[in-house]
Amino acid sequence: MLTSFLRRVPRRIPTIPHSRTLKSTPKINSDSFGLPTKPIWSVNELLSSYPKPELSASTFKRLHELSALIPPEEGTPEYEKLKRELEELVRLVEAVKLVDTQGVQPAELRPIFVEGVEEGEKEDFEEDKDAGRTLLKHASRTNDDFYVVEADRKR
């Protein structure tokens, strides 16, 4: 049986001529753990292929109102810088929204265990889950389960 197999195996492996050469990837320097010593990609490079959003002045103002902030004066360098930064954040969010998550299972949620805490003390942590709602009782103003914070400016 082995002899019949060997008869079918060619004695010499033919070489296949090819007209194109394979491009070699650049050598990436890494540390002893195999991690690159220098960044091998950048977020800016990745996002450069996505369209740049344009925030209107009214949207810019509305974002400041929603966050209870006073927007810088329109036309100032501070306004332009902040507007550019917000546009880049919007670009990042839009790029993340384009990621295909079809078939991706959510990560398994596991309880958090504090090192050095005994099993009986873990129930104390469970009782503290609603501590945030307990703190709401001390707030001067609330709406449902949210703190109400007055802005430093008039509407």
pLDDT score, position 56: 94
Kindly list the domain boundaries of the chain, sorted by start residue: 41-99
pLDDT score, position 61: 92
Is residue 71 within 8 A of residue 64, CB to CB? The reply is: yes
Tokens linked to 155: 């509407």
CB within 8 Å of 54: residues ≥ 6 apart:
87
The C-alpha atoms of residue 52 and residue 42 are separated, in whole angstroms, by 17
For the chain, which residues score pLDDT lower than 70?
Answer: 1-25, 109-130, 152-155
Entry pTM:
0.47
Geometric angle at alpha carbon 76, from 74 and 82, rounded to 5°: 80
